[in-house]
A and B are shown apart, each in its own frame.
Chain A
Amino acid sequence: MVGARPLPRGRSLRRTVAQVVGSRWSLLGLLALIALFIVVMASLQGVSGTRMLGLVVRGVLLGGVLALGALGVTLVFGVLKMANFAHGDYMTLGAYLGLVVMTLLPRGAPILGLGFGYEFVVALLVVMPLVGLIAYGLDRLTFRRLRQRRSAPVMMAMAALGLAFGVRSIVYMVFGADFAFYYQGRARPVVELFAGVRVRTDQLFILGAAVLLIVLVYLLLERSKTGKAMRAMADNPDLARISGIPTERVVFWTWMVGGALAGAGGMLYGLDVQLRPEMGWWLLLPLFAAVILGTIGNVYGALLGAFTMGIVWQVSSAFVNPAYGPAAAFVVMILALLVRPQGLMGGGR
């Protein structure tokens, strides 16, 4: 299994201890400890329960966006066996392409008590396949050549790094380094969820859209033939090829799905906060933290990891500078790696 290391040999007691320490339950225990630590720290700082609850809710909302990115990362890793460091920048690309589409459309009135009009939804539907196609096109230009040459995975990661910086530099050139907003100076309605926790209706839309997309991906993977082929490729690429699975078509769909989710994630994140050329790079760390926590290559693990990291990111701001949110996700990842390198859903022990 990916990331797994052989059990330490030696006396059986040591082995038993290692098994217990590295078990799934102890990783869950670690997460529980972290949650406890956060609650204790927050109560020491006199953070109110309502505020904590609000942060958890915000964390879940952020987790939805992270999940869209993390699904793409883990799918690409599963099928193509490469860490795509350009994924965050694909999210940025999606966010800015959405901005372009929206400026082309006439502005509509806000729909259904939300803070945006129909044009955002249209842009979302246009951007998703577009980013998917771009991701596939870039794969044709770069990663495919490396795959055909049977290059080491690390060379692909390096090419991904080159793509990440290349995509970002284009965003910089076209849009400049400043913030951008989908809507400036428009009212963003707020509703009270429960017990004094207030969220913007837009954020509910973001979570709803994220959950809908996740369900669609689930159906694709579990029900469709393409999804089955993707899972087969992830499990055993050689066997998949021998069984007559059209590898190139699976690669195409992997990038389409991964890219579309990245594009959607970027747009939804941009709707919640703002657009910046570095937004995707900053998301990359929590994305990979989520994927690694939930076992790299595992779709359900990525979902679990994404919501965990979203909550950690938000809740940690109760007692440390909010700027450290992504770093908090990183620290949790390092702790998880120490306990169980193969992640929550990994095999063994």
Chain B
Amino acid sequence: MDPTVLPRTVLLAVPLYLLLVVVLRGRSALVKHAVAVVAALAVALGLTVLLPAGTLSYVVTFLLMGSVYAVLTLGLNVQWGYTGLFNIGIAAFFAIGAFTSALFTLRMPTGSLAAFTQQAFGLGAPFWVGLLAAGVVAGALALLVGGPTLRLRGDYLAIATIGIAELVRLVFQNERWLANGPQPLRGLPQPLSCLSGAGCDWLPGFVNAFFAPLAPRDYPYVYVAIVALVLFLVFVGLERAIRSPWGRVLRAVREDEDAAAMSGKNVAAFRMQAFVVGAVIMGMGGSLYAHYVVAIDYGHFDPLYGTFLIWVMLMLGGSGNNRGAVLGALLVWAIWTGASFAVDALRPTLAAISPDLPQRGPYVRFLLISLLMLFIVLYRPRGVLPEEKVVSLTRD
């Protein structure tokens, strides 16, 4: 038997287990977790044994990027889904999270590398510090943007967020000293990459021995577990928050600002809180993204990938529903990646229409996703999983 099957199974079981914990209902907590562990391991084993390694690693990278986008979509759901804040500059928080995390975790380049790479600072901190710093800096940016615009009508916030997204992108494009200007910032450390490498010296020997068969190309199995864990924590935290009195006020602000104000709620403060919380989550999503792709530059955060795609995910999944947000992220990511296969298959047809068309294939899915957005807005504005009526928890 392939020696990598067992370690891959265990790693793949992590996201499946977390998914089952969210999906399964009822029973006692102990039974639920036991069922989830067994089922996750069984499904993971089945997938690892039955699927060809190439297919499975495709599925894993799909889940990985889908989950990164799910984190971003959850951030938007706090802002738009629950509070009605029209943020169309997600890319700003996405980008600033990614670059912050990069600067915190990279070391300053030395020797001949310093000639090619310039960065403002490099702390060489561990991944989780970068992740938290990404959230903090993105949240601080939200405070800055929200101040002058949140008290105004929705359209003003929309324009201000478009502006801040362009500004952030321009800064990372033009300021060489900050994060290597137009050149990519390379070599971001990957958390726990030692598991699929030489072994981590801080882990007990038997753990390292168990994961020893993994090669560096199996790293996505490790990272998908990490991303799934972050996604799970964000999801659970948000579900708690939304069911709390705080979440109830957010929805009140969205539905009827005046009524909320009449009930003595400080509408502006609640809006700001939702905006900042959403931005913190987006920043962390940026960090997760950056450490997966390893090399980042301003081009990764253009309005299409950085903002529009995430909007389509939330609108398709169902704004005001966290499960919907996650589902929408995975669905749209499936459509987005699937469309590139479809375009590849259509190459001969496209070539028959015009010789230039096949190389412009990526724009076909660009159009497809725009049409999807229009379709949702016109015919399914509530999404696949519409918002549910929730009763706030009074106690736990």
Contacts and interface: CB of A to CB of B under 8 A. Distances in A.
Interface of A: 2-3, 5, 83, 85, 142, 145-146, 151, 153-155, 157-159, 161-163, 165-166, 168-170, 172-173, 176-177, 281-282, 284-285, 288-289, 292, 296, 321, 323-324, 326-327, 330, 333-334, 337-338, 341
A334 B160 contact: yes
A68 to B, nearest CB: 19
A334 B148 contact: yes
A159 B174 contact: no
Nearest to B375: A162
Q: Which DSSP category, helix, strand, loop or mixed, fits chain A's interface? A: helix
How many of chain B's residues touch chain A, expressed as a range? Answer: 35 or more
Contacts of A284: 162
B155 A83 contact: yes
A131 B357 CA distance: 24
26 contacts: A153-B154, A154-B84, A157-B158, A158-B373, A159-B373, A159-B374, A161-B88, A162-B370, A162-B374, A163-B374, A165-B308, A165-B370, A165-B373, A166-B370, A169-B363, A169-B364, A169-B370, A172-B363, A173-B360, A173-B367, A285-B166, A323-B174, A333-B160, A334-B148, A337-B149, A337-B152
Interface in B336-385: 356-357, 360, 363-364, 366-367, 369-371, 373-374, 377-378, 381
A55 to B, nearest CB: 19
A145 B356 CA distance: 36
Q: Is the interface of B mostly helix, strand, loop or mixed?
A: helix
Contacts of A145: 378
A288 B174 CA distance: 24
Contacts of A163: 370, 374
Contact of B373 (A161, A281, A288): A161
A154 B363 contact: no
B146 to A, nearest CB: 12
A13 to B, nearest CB: 22
Contacts of B308: 161, 165
Contacts of B154: 153-154, 157
Contact of A327 (B153, B170, B356, B357): B170
A330 B163 contact: yes
Given A162-B373, A165-B373, A327 B167 contact: yes
A276 to B, nearest CB: 13
A194 B174 CA distance: 34
Contact of B153 (A2, A288, A323): A2
Given A83-B158, A162-B370, 20 more contacts: A5-B151, A5-B152, A153-B154, A154-B86, A158-B373, A159-B378, A161-B88, A162-B371, A165-B308, A169-B370, A173-B357, A173-B360, A284-B162, A285-B162, A327-B166, A327-B170, A337-B148, A337-B149, A337-B156, A341-B156
A165 to B, nearest CB: 4
A209 B162 CA distance: 30
B289 interface: no
Contacts of A153: 154-155
A285 B304 contact: no
Contact of A157 (B86, B148, B166, B304): B86
B197 interface: no
Nearest to A284: B162
B315 interface: yes
Contacts of B149: 334, 337
B303 interface: yes
B190 interface: no
A155 B152 CA distance: 17
Contacts of B364: 169, 173
A172 B302 CA distance: 15
B260 interface: no
Contacts of A159: 373-374, 377-378
A176 B360 contact: yes
A95 B308 CA distance: 24
B223 interface: no
Q: Which 6 A-B pairs have the closest CB atoms?
A: A166-B370, A162-B373, A330-B163, A169-B366, A169-B367, A172-B363
B163 A151 contact: no
B159 interface: yes
B173 interface: yes
Contacts of B88: 85, 161
Contacts of B160: 333-334, 337
Contacts of B170: 323-324, 327
Contact of B367 (A3, A146, A170, A337): A170
A77 to B, nearest CB: 8
A74 to B, nearest CB: 12
A83 B156 CA distance: 9
B370 A333 contact: no
Query: Of A153, A173, A177, which is in contact with the most chain B CB atoms at under 10 Å from its CB?
Result: A173
